Each structure stands twice: as C-alpha cells, then as structure tokens.
Amino acid sequence: MIDSTAEDQLFLQDNYLRHKPPCSILCLPILYHGELTAVLYLENNEARSVFTPARIETLKVLAAQAAISIETAKLIAAWSNPSGNIAHWLKTP
C-alpha cells in the first residue's frame, strides 16, 4: 500500500506515476490455497491514505471470494473442453 505516491522514492521513476500520479495505491494478491491467482490493483486519484485497515480487510474478503470464482471459472472451462482432463478424472477411481 502506498499512501502518497508523490512522497515514495521507489515510484518516482515510473513514467505512469510521474505523469498521472494517483494519490493512493493498493495492490493486493488474490490467493487460492496459498497460490497466486491474480492481483487486485486499486488507485485513488482524489485523496491520500484512503486504504484504511478496515477497508483492506473488506477487500481481502472480496479477494478470497474472487479467487474462488476464478478457480471455478477455470474448472468450468476445463469441464467444457472435450480434450480436457476432466473426463480422465471421472474415469479414474
């Protein structure tokens, strides 16, 4: 989490952040069984320090639900694919 991109030395060299600096950035991993599935990137252009601990906890709950949905979508895609491994799983005791 970055409360103020204007003050963070790590990001002063980034072209995107230099030309259109957001006030706050939050990057949260979306994990499924401890493995990275996706990344949630949020930025706020209006105010600094908007990602409070309570808001981050809410986003973590939503990220967990997103991870389940992403994995379910992958499973459905594999199930729909006739050449997928799902048919093999069903035949194996």
63 alpha-carbon distance from chain centroid? 7
Helical spans, DSSP H, in 1-93: 15-19, 53-80, 86-91
Rounded CA separation 1/43 (Å): 10
Rounded CA separation 24/67 (Å): 24
Domain locations in the chain as residue ranges = 9-84
Write the pLDDT tens digit of every residue in 13-27: 778 777 777 888 899
Most confident of 5-19, 39-53, 59-73, 78-92: 59-73
The residue length of the chain stands at: 93
Write the pLDDT tens digit of every residue in 53-66: 999 999 999 999 99
